[in-house]
Chain A
Amino acid sequence: MGQGFLKAAAGHLRRSAVLAVAAAALVGGCATKDTGAEDVWDPLETPNRFIFSINRAVDTIALRPVAVLYRDTVPDPAQKGVHNAVTNLGEPITALNEAVQGKAHRAATTMARFLINSTIGVAGLFDVAKSMGLEPSKNDAGLTIGYYAGVEPENGGFYIMLPLLGPSNVRDAAGLVADGSLDPFGIAIYSIWGSTPYWIYAGSRVGATVVDTRVRTMYALDDLEKNSVDYYAALRSAYTQQRAEQIRQKRSPDAKAELERRDNLALVR
């Protein structure tokens, strides 16, 4: 997804995984209290809000209308195909992250999905693997950093509102750079055919991903916007909570630790 962008910007940032590691160390160093994402560490709030307002303007005049048009005019099977295809392109990186997190079996399943869907599934347009019982999963380098960071997953370093890409933090932005720079398709296209085909690939992948994601998030984001008094703060909290939840699931599928943590939160309330 967003990684396509950064990847584009960083055609030869091949070794930026190092950055991610450095960021992980930084994340670990930035302590925030675990308040359930009430107080997200946001030292850049003023510039972040400025970027957020630009993002919203771009969304209002361009992206959202395009997404609505796409949602209402493109046939459902085609929309599903686009979603499957962009997901499929991300599977190798998903598998890599799962492997780094020591989830060998899950990584193998993801790679099997990729091989099956890329061939029988016609370049990923159909999720054949799922009907064979190979369930999809989500993973990225932000989660990998969070997995190993050893801090409360609400603490991802300071909050960053990325231009165009939206809510993030040090951890997840580093993850985007790492994922993007390791994308096998990007690397292959860039090194075999050079930069123009690469930009075409990256641009269309990001474009498809963005529209697909915007359609899928529309209901929830409209609701959050309409029913919050400070949309920026509500989104910041929701983003942080959701990423934290994903990291907790990667850390331990067993929810005991999470329940105990919530007991403590309830007491603090």
Chain B
Amino acid sequence: MSQFASRRHVLRLAAGAAAIASTLSVPLAVHAADAPAATFIESVANRVIELIKSTTPGPAREAAFKKVLETDFDLNFMGRSALGTHWNGTTPEEQQRFLKAAASAEAHAYSERFGQYLGQTLSVGRVSPRPNGVSVVDSKLNQSNGQPISIQWEVRDEAGRPRITDVKVEGVSMVMTRRSDFNSYIQNHGGKVDALIAELESRAKQ
């Protein structure tokens, strides 16, 4: 059996990562809470669903995903968080290259994640505004078979426009996981952010 195979909670973990995936394959949200952040999440979910219905995996879908990511996600903030302490040690040019490569890799990942729409729906629940300007939106991804998956969205208002800064699936934060992933890669490549950028760039081209 594999390292993954045998434990109950790993299962959840899986559900987690999967959800990051399926999240986007979300739904025609029904339970619209009143907060603007909730409405925002619902509209993003609906746009993604439309996107999946109207495209097949390939460059067109990838471009469409990239557009959603660029519009509704605060990619610069997320990228910066994901790079963690290494951000400050890099030149502005490297930072731009990194952000661009990370966004492309993300769009590529999303476009490959979904085959076709499987009827999932996202019900948005409680919204908790935080003093630091971030709203945490609770939601459940309901699947046609299996348990619902819990997804939390962090939404930050930037110049009056809400943007997603993190997605937590069953407790697993996308940004935190990337950060750990990137940080470890950099450390294993002589502390050079450049190596990570090159790797991300080559992946985006695949």
Which residues from chain A sit less than 8 Å from chain B, CB to CB?
1-2, 5, 36-40, 51-52, 55-56, 58-59, 63-64, 67, 90, 138, 140, 142, 161-162, 164-168, 172, 176, 206, 209-211, 213-214, 216-221, 223-224, 226-230, 232-234, 236-239, 241-246, 248, 255, 259, 262-263, 266-267, 269
Contact A259 B128 (CB under 8 A): yes
Docked complex Cα distance between A63 and B154 (Å): 37
Q: Which of B39-47, B55-63, B90-98, B176-184 forms part of the interface with chain A?
A: B176-184
Docked complex Cα distance between A233 and B20 (Å): 18
**Interface assignment of B13: CB less than 8 Å from any CB of chain A:** yes
Docked complex Cα distance between A214 and B2 (Å): 8
Docked complex: B65-112 residues within 8 A CB-CB of A: 80-81, 84, 105, 109, 112
Contact A219 B21 (CB under 8 A): yes
* Contact A2 B184, CB 8 Å, known A220-B16, A241-B172, A259-B128: no
Contacts of B10 in A (CB 8 A): 166-167, 213, 217, 239
Shortest Cβ gap from B172 to chain A (Å) = 5
Contact B13 A237 (CB under 8 A): no
8 CB contacts below 8 A, A to B, read: A138-B9, A166-B2, A167-B10, A211-B5, A223-B21, A239-B10, A262-B136, A266-B154
* Contact A244 B171, CB 8 Å, known A55-B3, A229-B182: yes
Contact A238 B17 (CB under 8 A): yes
Question: Which of A229, A239, A263 has the most chain B CB atoms closer than 10 A to its own CB?
Answer: A229
From B195, which residue of chain A is reached at the shortest CB distance?
Answer: A229
Contact A237 B6 (CB under 8 A): no
Docked complex Cα distance between A266 and B130 (Å): 11
Other than the known A232-B184, A236-B180, A238-B177, what 14 A-B pairs have Cβ atoms closer than 8 Å? A1-B7, A5-B6, A55-B3, A138-B8, A165-B7, A219-B21, A226-B109, A229-B196, A234-B178, A245-B171, A255-B128, A263-B131, A263-B134, A266-B154
Docked complex Cα distance between A36 and B82 (Å): 12
Docked complex Cα distance between A243 and B170 (Å): 10
Contact A237 B176 (CB under 8 A): yes
Shortest Cβ gap from A5 to chain B (Å) = 7
* Contact A38 B6, CB 8 Å, known A233-B184, A237-B176: no
Contacts of A63 in B (CB 8 A): 1-2, 5
Contacts of A221 in B (CB 8 A): 4, 14, 17
Contact A64 B128 (CB under 8 A): no
Q: Fill in one digit per residue for B177-201: 1 if any A CB lies within 8 Å of its CB, else 0.
A: 1111111110010000000100110
Docked complex Cα distance between A166 and B9 (Å): 11
Contacts of A223 in B (CB 8 A): 17-18, 20-21, 109, 113
Contact A214 B5 (CB under 8 A): yes
Docked complex Cα distance between A90 and B11 (Å): 15
Docked complex Cα distance between A56 and B2 (Å): 6
Contacts of B13 in A (CB 8 A): 217, 220, 238-239, 242
Contacts of B7 in A (CB 8 A): 1-2, 165-166, 168, 176, 213
From A163, which residue of chain B is reached at the shortest CB distance?
Answer: B3
Contact B180 A229 (CB under 8 A): no
Contacts of B188 in A (CB 8 A): 230
Contact B11 A217 (CB under 8 A): yes
Contacts of B3 in A (CB 8 A): 51-52, 55-56, 59, 161-162, 164-167
Question: Which of B7, B15, B130, B203 has the most chain A CB atoms closer than 10 A to its own CB?
Answer: B7
Give the 8 A-B residue pairs with the shortest CB-CB distance, closest first: A245-B171, A59-B2, A166-B3, A220-B14, A217-B14, A233-B184, A237-B180, A55-B3
Q: Kindly identify which residue among A220, A229, A244 contacts B200, using a CB–CB cutoff of 8 Å.
A: A229
Contacts of B5 in A (CB 8 A): 59, 63, 67, 164-166, 210-211, 213-214, 217
Shortest Cβ gap from A57 to chain B (Å) = 9
Shortest Cβ gap from B16 to chain A (Å) = 6
Contacts of B113 in A (CB 8 A): 223
